[in-house]
Each structure stands twice: as C-alpha cells, then as structure tokens.
Amino acid sequence: MKKHASSGRATCEGGLTGRLLKLSIAGRLDAASVARLWPVVHRLLGHKGIEAIVVDGSGIQYCDGAGTGLLVCIRQTARRLAAHLEFNGLSEEVAGLLSLYPVERILASEKPPPKRTGDLVVQIGKTFWTTLIGLKEHVAFAGELTVGLAKALLHPRSLRTKDFLLVTEASGPQALPIIIMLGFLVGLIMAFQGAVLMKQFGAEIYIADFVGISVTRELGPLITAIIVAGRTGSAFAAELGTMKVNEEIDALTTMGLDPVRFLVIPRVLAATLMTPLLAVLTNIAGFLGGAVVMVGLQFPMVTYVNRLLGAVATADYLGGLAKALVFGLLIAAAGCNCGLRTGEGASAVGRSATRAVVSSITLIVIADGIFAVLFFYLGI
C-alpha cells in the first residue's frame, strides 16, 4: 500500500508493511509545499498498529521552518504512538534544524489539559464567587459614577464639552431614522391589531385611545430604550473596550486622570438626555402610524386628534418620559461598565458589546416592571 502527494516541488511517498511505516520525503519543504503534504502525512500516520516508522529524507533539497515543523510533527506522533522512529539520509542542515527542537523542550512546553471536575458543589461555589466579584465591581462602578455625575452637575465646567457634544450627536440625531421608522410601524401595527378586535363591537373610534395610551406609557419608551441599547450601549462598550485592550485607559490612570470623568460621564449624560427626546419622537411617529389606520377606516383626522388629546393625560406623558430617562441612564452605565471591564484580546471587545446589550435589556425590563408596580400603587 502506497500513497503519494506532490506539490510541484516536494513529494511524499509512504507504505505500510506489516507494522512498519516507511515514509520517503523529497523536494523543497517550504510553506507552500508542506501545506499540501501535511494532510497526506497525517493520513499515513493515522493507520492502526504502527510500531516503527522509518523516514527517508535523502531527497530533501531545502527545508525551512514549515518543513521542520512537519518533521517535528512526525516525531511527536511517533512518541505518542510509542513507535520506534528512525530518520535516514537527512543532510547536516536539516538535521541541525531538527535538533533545535529537542523532545525535552517540547514536552516542557506542553500544557496538560484542564481537569474537569464533576463536583456540583464546586461548580456552584465558583459560580457564586464569580457572581459576588461581579456584583462588587458593579457596586464600585455605581459609586464612582454617582460621584462623577454629582461633580459634573455641581461644576459644569469640569465636563468635557466637546466630547459631550460629539457623543450627543451620535446618540441622538444619528438615531432619528431608525427611531422614527420603528415608532411609525409600532403605531401602525397596534392600530391594525386594535381595529380587528374593536370592529366586532363597532368601537373603531377607540383605536385612538388604545394607540395613544399604549405608545405613550409603554411602547414608546420601551422601543426607544431597546434601540438605544443595541445602538448606543454596544457602541460605548466597544469604544471603551478597544481603549482598554490598547491600554489607553491604563495610560490615563498612569497620568493621574480619572477614566470615569474623562470617558464615562460625557457618555452617560449624553445618552440620559437624548433618550427622552428620542422617546418623544417615537411617540409622535407612533401617533402618525395610528392616524394612517384611522384615516383608512374613514375617520376624519380631527376626530383622531381629539380622541388622542382626551385619552392621553399629562401623567401619561410624564410617566413615559421618566421611564425613558431612567432607561437611558441604565443603558449608558451598563455599556460603559462592560467596556471598562473588557478582558484581553480582540474577541474580548465583541464579548463586552454583547454583554452590554444583554445587561441593558435586562435592566430595562426590571426597571419597567418596577415602574409598572409604582404607577399602579400611585394610581397613574
């Protein structure tokens, strides 16, 4: 049995005789040729019952680091199979390259696979400890953020105005197209769904009440917060995470500058102020979506507007804006916190952005539930 592979400048022939595997390698062993020879060598070495391997390297004309890696791989495979290995015909140059990678050094560099523990108690303890560490970091960040916001409000000149305006533009005006489109579609869908139900009772006029209250109190702030979380919160986490990976945040700390004041406070204030304004635009777009349905049902526009003005009270507007304000603060804080806690490596930035979106949406849902209970007991 023989197998042969040719890369134009290098060849590999192999045959299995009983329990003896004979390999004959010839040509130029460079990166291009070794890439083609490697799969063939792996297939030959994968036969069962191999007890001895003989490699004929008399035909090797050139060998670089890639070729040396192939020979080292053959040697390591023979060791793993507990098979006797013999290199024949290697030139002094190739033998010298192979001697640079002694077996002892490779064994010392190999890391044993991590031990898996099946102890459920240990796993629960590790998870609990990790949760406590994360909670401690969240509390510490919340304290730093509170102090920083208080200083910024008491001393407005300490705020970096240029950065604040840039972040405000990115968080607010640049998000208008998607906010308006989603708000319009939400109002349109809610009006259509309400029309299907209310048409059975001849109460299509109450579609305006349904759209106005649901959009103003709940859907407007909630849709806005989700868009801000996916767009702005993830951007904050990615920006600060990249700075953390590039050690720019460590450089600020080394120079005696507070990263929370220079990086976090402008972002938190910008997102907190922009989210209620975006929620107002979402509400208006939702009202327009409901108006399209009402006009399609042959209701005059003035009737729809009058129903909205009568159904939606001032408390509904203010409650929705209060929700949006809190949502914006939570989203910005979660995004900045995840960015500052980014680990090492490029993939850590992606994980931070994902963690920021998940954390933001979780906090939004929890805060929305708290608002629902609060509004219920306040009779709003």
Distance CA 281, CA 220 (A): 9
Task: Give residue 110's pLDDT.
Answer: 59
Quick: pLDDT tens for 240-280: 988 888 888 888 888 878 888 888 889 999 999 999 999 99
Average pLDDT, the chain: 84
CA–CA distance, 272 with 374 (Å, rounded to integer): 21
- The CATH superfamily label for domain 2-109 reads STAS domain (3.30.750.24)
CB 359 within 8 Å of CB 334: yes
pTM beyond 0.85, yes or no: no
- pLDDT tier, 104 (very low <50, low <70, confident <90, very high otherwise): low
Q: 130-144, 156-170, 205-219, 312-326: which range is least confident on average?
A: 130-144
Residue 289 CA, chain-centre distance (Å), reads 33
Q: Where are the domains of the chain?
A: 2-109, 141-378
Query: 238: helix, coil or strand?
Result: helix
Hey, what amino acid is at 5?
A: A
What's the pLDDT band for 198 if we cut at 50, 70, 90?
Answer: confident
Take residue 302 and report the two structure tokens written for it.
């003035």
Task: Write down the pLDDT at residue 321.
Answer: 92
